[in-house]
Chains A and B, each alone.
Chain A
Amino acid sequence: MNLTASATIAARGLDANITVEAGRTLALLGPNGSGKSSLLGVLAGLLRPDAGSARLGESELFEVSLSDARWPRPDERPIGLLGQDPMLFPHLSALDNAAFPLRAAGASRSDAREAALTWLRAVDAESLAASRPGALSGGQAQRVAIARALAAEPAVLLLDEPLAALDVDAAVTIRALLATVLRGRTAILATHNVVDASMLADDIAVLHDGGIVETGPTRDVLARPQHPFTARMAGRGLIPGVRTQTGIQLPDGTALAGVSFASNTPTADAAFDDAAPGTDALLTVRPAAVRVTLPTPVGPPSGPNAITATVTAVETHAESLRIWAGGLIADLDHELARDQAPTIGDTVTLHVDPAQAVVYRALPPQ
């Protein structure tokens, strides 16, 4: 069953529409405070929006408008919610935690425990059955919380930053577990982490300033972002321009030739190869395909595919210095950069390798 939802919460600046196709996982990608949790809370019934509605297949989930207000309680919705914090009931064993939704639905104690054990087995937590939540590690507790959420057999599973509270090792194993759990399940994953989104989600909706700025299959959205925010999250450079016969012309007049053209999604726009010059286009390029040189005293930069820009951010990585300038991201080798490392405000020249740059159609804002 497809899930479609819209919600407005004025106090949190949220105004978003999302669609999740049956059996697919949608990542709601956005920074902390962008309204991801609020949107999940609205779907779960924990947070009432100022206005909004949602449908699950043929049936209505809720409807809140000026004229209508149908707002079922959380327990009346076929929606499960797994949070960042496992929130296991501290007075119940792991087994009884997993049995909780079954008992609440009216199953006998023995039936509920038997089914709960199956769910614990499914998340590889059978050995923890007798443990109290206080005795579990963060990763173990999240395993049990996943079993408990699944035991309720929700039609849609919401996951609110399920890996954010875990240490690195636990996050790796729980991410792998979620990848199996989410296969074929209708789910929404709220995350600020592009790794989680790309590993766990079929589709992605990017939330920025309280609204969805773009949506589509995860791989396509991250490889060919439309919005600068998405590009930043994906770690790719993104510059708007216009299509030329052989490439793209950037706003500063630089023309790049010899780039590869790509089609957009979700529209199978295979025809961008043949798009007319002058069409709005976007250039994206990975940091590895951008070379940085420091300004020479000899006037303006020369050579093809060179862009002059001001450094807006600098970040130290293990073996390189990552700089942001003019919409592009570039990695400088530490050894080379040591003497004359650019700092914020410096002017640098960025040389884009056209063979690795991708140009595609700029879609009108959603």
Chain B
Amino acid sequence: MTLAPPDSSDSPTTRRRDPNAASASYVPPWLPPLAVVGALLILVPLVAMATRVDWANFGALVTSDSAVAALALSLRTSLAATALCIVLGVPMAIVLARVDFPLKSLARTLVLVPLVLPPVVGGLALLYAFGKRGLLGGTLDLLGIDIAFSTTAVVLAQTFVALPFMVLTLESSLRARGARFEGVAATLGARRGYAFRHVTWPLMWPALVAGTVLCFARALGEFGATITFAGSLEGVTRTVPLEIYLQREVDPDAAVALSLLLIVIALVIVGLAYRRPANRSAR
């Protein structure tokens, strides 16, 4: 899986596509049908769900007290987790892309772990780190901080699973571009801080947007780590995915309505992320 944003190559010349180049003629004929099968695998379940929506009561279903509480909590925690991913992910990506240090390949593997780990396992790991009887639980307890089964735990769980998306997106963009522009800035007399603010940061902006959107989407959909580490308290830790899981037993119509809402939000987010390159090359 590659997480490079579609515009990770920064050279303006490589991004332009020659309209006369017959790129489609290089594609083997058996390949497009497989691509269609893949697209159907994604599309059919979404359509199937849309057919089950109780449209008459849709408004009432997604504005019930529990649904609104879950939506508000999901938005708050996902935004907080995304902000954390930016604050922690940008330095991680830059260090991985630009600084040589011992055991660097191990560190890069470690960053990927939350991506391949079942989220439930991630939640368990977080519990053993920050829970009351966890590794850091005692220390945090002394400081009067209780994280497990709180909204903070939701944010931590979401950050844990979303962070790799930010780091990988930024790092691949930074590595693809190399450090030549920073070298030019330095020979022009720009100190490191100035070069970071005026060269590195603006050049990594497209990748940052892509990474941010991916992080937000991943945080919004987080379920396994949240339910394990934060539980399912209405208004405190019960985010939309947890609410959907709960309602599935009690009120399937409500579950379907909320699910549709989540799908729409996801489509809007993905659309925003992948419309950017088209806008940029048109400037």
A100 / chain B contacts, CB cutoff of 8 Å: 185, 188, 190, 198
Is the CB of B202 closer than 8 A to any CB of chain A? yes
Number of interface residues of A (CB under 8 A): 25
A165 CB to closest chain B CB (Å) equals: 12
| B12 x A134 contact (CB < 8 A) | yes
| B188 x A90 contact (CB < 8 A) | no
- Known A46-B183, A87-B184, A91-B203; contact A75-B198, beta-carbon cutoff 8 A: no
| A46 x B186 contact (CB < 8 A) | yes
Nearest B residue to A90, CB-CB = B12
A107 CB to closest chain B CB (Å) equals: 11
B192 / chain A contacts, CB cutoff of 8 Å: 73, 75
Partner pick for B189 among A83, A87, A91, A105, CB 8 A cutoff = A105
A91 / chain B contacts, CB cutoff of 8 Å: 202-203, 205
Nearest B residue to A87, CB-CB = B184
A89 / chain B contacts, CB cutoff of 8 Å: 181, 184-185, 199, 203
New A-B contacts (11) at CB < 8 Å, excluding given A75-B191, A89-B199: A45-B186, A74-B186, A79-B187, A87-B181, A89-B185, A91-B205, A100-B188, A101-B188, A101-B190, A104-B194, A148-B188
Is the CB of A197 closer than 8 A to any CB of chain B? no
Within 8 A of B (CB), among A210-236: none
B203 / chain A contacts, CB cutoff of 8 Å: 89-91
A80 / chain B contacts, CB cutoff of 8 Å: 187-188
A291 to B183, CA, bound (A): 52
Is the CB of A152 closer than 8 A to any CB of chain B? yes
Within 8 A of B (CB), among A34-66: 44-46
Nearest B residue to A47, CB-CB = B183
Partner pick for B190 among A75, A79, A132, CB 8 A cutoff = A75
Number of interface residues of B (CB under 8 A): 23
B234 / chain A contacts, CB cutoff of 8 Å: none
Residue-wise interface mask of A (141-175) relative to B, using a CB-CB cutoff of 8 A (1 in contact, 0 not):
00000001100100000000000000000000000
B206 CB to closest chain A CB (Å) equals: 10
Partner pick for A152 among B188, B194, B205, CB 8 A cutoff = B188
Nearest A residue to B13, CB-CB = A134
A112 CB to closest chain B CB (Å) equals: 12
A152 / chain B contacts, CB cutoff of 8 Å: 187-189
A132 / chain B contacts, CB cutoff of 8 Å: 283
Is the CB of A81 closer than 8 A to any CB of chain B? yes
Nearest A residue to B199, CB-CB = A89
Within 8 A of A (CB), among B238-283: 283
| A44 x B190 contact (CB < 8 A) | no
Top 5 closest pairs, chain A to chain B, by CB: A74-B186, A104-B190, A134-B12, A101-B188, A81-B187
